[in-house]
């Protein structure tokens, strides 16, 4: 288990659930060892008493079901597409129905406000699935002059991830979901008798799918029977070795895959270029928030990877160049696949860091040598989630 995850399971406080939203799937898996965290004002499973490394290998070799806290928002109306183009620093007008798109919203000074997946559900109807942060007040403040409605469908997200996920989704859909559903494609499917939105996406760097439920009746959906959905997925997954997993195993894999977390690895004080997200910015697109600042921004990357062969880097641990601190760790784990300590380092200033040998603070408070590298740590062409590399470790 990564040191940061282990610390999260031990350093806990009691908190009322009144303000935060409990998952409708919670009762399907919770046990006395369950530890919850809060993202986007929603509880999610940080740890569920499982062997995190064993679940990680099940993810890599078979299939794991995750209940994740990412929060969908529905944006609809005659001006929905134009409004999305205003909000996001990526071309939205060309997005076709049945397609997901990784989209970043920036502040007026070019800071990275939020990242997430945008889906065109139907003509004039979009869903934006956000991680942590406050998307609603931001969009409400910018919506003046646009004929749009922004609402909360009370949607939840189940991720079915791993090399056997295709077989599980095929069986759940009666054979309709097959290899023709490509990476980041999406659509409505009959999932064991319920009409649900499915995308071929995930947060693990593995082949995987996400199922989106709704908690209220919307303009395009009926409420989901969440308990039925959870048990249907687990039942369909039995022949393929499915396990339920918490963030304890997902965190290990997402770090290996170079997947970043909003407010953990980057925030509004970093531009997308500094965070290594420049390829997802259509900088010369017209009239989006942050355009002027991004056009003149420094394009150098400040968030990269580090490898420490002797120990797991400490969360928020110092990264030193000799006697000078030059950055800090934003996420870290012991990689089961690479059998070494890995992490992300956020440098205080841009520079020619990749390829350098520096030192990093470990979970035991010691300083150990580390190599600075580009992200991700392996599968740099994303052949695994794209279904092009089916080699199982």
Residue 13 has pLDDT above 90, yes or no: no
Cβ pair 44, 36 in contact under 8 A: yes
Token look-up 């008493």 returns 49
Q: 130 with 206, same domain?
A: yes
Q: 214 with 82, same domain?
A: yes
The predicted structure's pLDDT at residue 1: 44
Cβ pair 14, 346 in contact under 8 A: no
Residue 66 has pLDDT above 70, yes or no: yes
Q: How far is CA 120 from the centre of its chain?
A: 19
> How many CB atoms within 10 Å of residue 124?
16
Q: Which of 62, 99, 117, 59 is nearest to 254 (CA)?
A: 59
The domain boundary residue, chosen from 298, 315, 331: 298
Q: 278 with 325, same domain?
A: no
Q: 292 with 307, same domain?
A: no
What integer is the mean pLDDT of 342-347? 98
Residue 18 has pLDDT above 90, yes or no: no
Cβ pair 254, 205 in contact under 8 A: yes
Average pLDDT of the chain?
Answer: 95
Alpha carbons 96 and 103: distance in angstroms, whole number: 14
pLDDT digit string (tens) for 361-374?
999 999 999 999 99
Alpha carbons 66 and 168: distance in angstroms, whole number: 14
Q: 293 with 326, same domain?
A: no
Residue 2 has pLDDT above 60, yes or no: no
The length of the chain is: 393
Q: 294 with 312, same domain?
A: no
Q: 150 with 20, same domain?
A: yes
Q: 15 with 141, same domain?
A: yes
The domain boundary residue, chosen from 298, 330, 362: 298
Phi-psi label, residue 299: left if phi above 0, alpha if psi -120 to 50, beta otherwise: alpha
CATH number of the domain that residue 390 is part of: 2.40.30.110
Q: 293 with 304, same domain?
A: no
Q: 365 with 343, same domain?
A: yes
Q: 115 with 36, same domain?
A: yes
- Domain extent for 71: 1-298
The domain boundary residue, chosen from 278, 298, 318: 298
Split into its structural domains, the chain has a count of 2
Residue 91 burial by Cβ neighbours in a 10 Å radius (0-12, 13-18, 19+): middle
Q: 141 with 286, same domain?
A: yes
CA distances from 60 to 5, 208, 258, 331 (A): 19, 11, 16, 20
According to DSSP, the residues that pair with 372 across neighbouring strands are 306
Count, in order, helices (H) and strands (E) of the chain. Answer: 8, 19
Alpha carbons 49 and 26: distance in angstroms, whole number: 14
Q: Longest C-alpha distance within the chain, in Å?
A: 62
State pTM to two decimals.
0.95
| Confidence band of 14 (pLDDT split at 50, 70, 90) | confident
CATH number of the domain that residue 115 is part of: 3.30.1360.120
Torsion from C-alpha of 106, 46, 204, 375, nearest 10 degrees:
60
Tokens of 380: 């740099």
pLDDT digit string (tens) for 256-294?
999 999 999 999 999 999 999 999 999 999 999 999 999
CA distances from 108 to 83, 89, 265, 301 (A): 16, 11, 20, 20
What integer is the mean pLDDT of 34-44? 94
Stated as kind and residue range, the H or E segment containing 43 is strand 42-47
Cβ pair 218, 74 in contact under 8 A: yes
| Confidence band of 5 (pLDDT split at 50, 70, 90) | low
Residue 371 burial by Cβ neighbours in a 10 Å radius (0-12, 13-18, 19+): middle
């Amino acid at each position: 288990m990564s040191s940061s995850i282990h610390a999260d399971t031990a350093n806990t406080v009691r908190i009322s659930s009144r303000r935060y939203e409990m998952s409708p799937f919670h009762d399907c898996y919770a046990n006395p060892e369950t530890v919850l965290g809060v993202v986007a004002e929603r509880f999610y499973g940080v740890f569920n008493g499982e062997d995190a490394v064993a679940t990680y290998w099940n993810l890599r070799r078979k299939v794991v079901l995750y209940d994740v806290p990412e929060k969908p928002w529905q944006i609809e109306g005659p001006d929905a597409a134009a409004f999305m183009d205003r909000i996001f620093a990526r071309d939205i007008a060309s997005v076709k129905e049945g397609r997901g798109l990784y989209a970043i919203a920036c502040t007026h000074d070019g800071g990275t406000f939020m990242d997430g997946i945008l889906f065109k559900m139907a003509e004039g109807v979009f869903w934006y699935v956000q991680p942590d942060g406050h998307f609603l007040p931001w969009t409400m403040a910018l919506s003046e002059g646009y004929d749009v409605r922004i609402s909360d469908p009370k949607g939840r997200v189940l991720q079915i991830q791993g090399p056997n996920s295709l077989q599980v989704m095929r069986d759940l859909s009666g054979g309709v979901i097959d290899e023709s559903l490509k990476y980041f494609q999406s659509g409505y499917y009959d999932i064991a008798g319920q009409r649900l939105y499915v995308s071929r996406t995930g947060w693990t760097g593995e082949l995987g799918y996400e199922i989106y439920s709704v908690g209220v009746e919307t303009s395009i959906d009926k409420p989901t029977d969440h308990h039925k959905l959870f048990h249907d997925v687990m039942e369909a997954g039995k022949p393929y070795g499915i396990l339920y997993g918490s963030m304890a195993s997902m965190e290990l894999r997402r770090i290996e895959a170079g997947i970043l977390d909003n407010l953990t690895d980057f925030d509004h004080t970093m531009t997308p270029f500094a965070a290594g997200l420049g390829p997802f910015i259509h900088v010369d697109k017209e009239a989006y928030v942050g355009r002027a600042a991004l056009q003149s921004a420094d394009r150098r990357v400040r968030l990269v990877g580090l490898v420490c062969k002797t120990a797991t880097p400490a969360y928020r641990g110092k990264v030193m160049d000799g006697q000078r601190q030059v950055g800090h760790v934003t996420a870290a784990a012991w990689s089961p696949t690479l059998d070494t300590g890995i992490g992300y380092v956020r440098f205080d200033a841009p520079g020619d860091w990749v390829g350098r040998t520096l030192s990093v603070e470990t979970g035991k408070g010691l300083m150990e040598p580390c190599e600075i590298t580009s992200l991700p740590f392996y599968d740099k062409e994303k052949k695994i989630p794209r279904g092009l590399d089916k080699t199982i470790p």
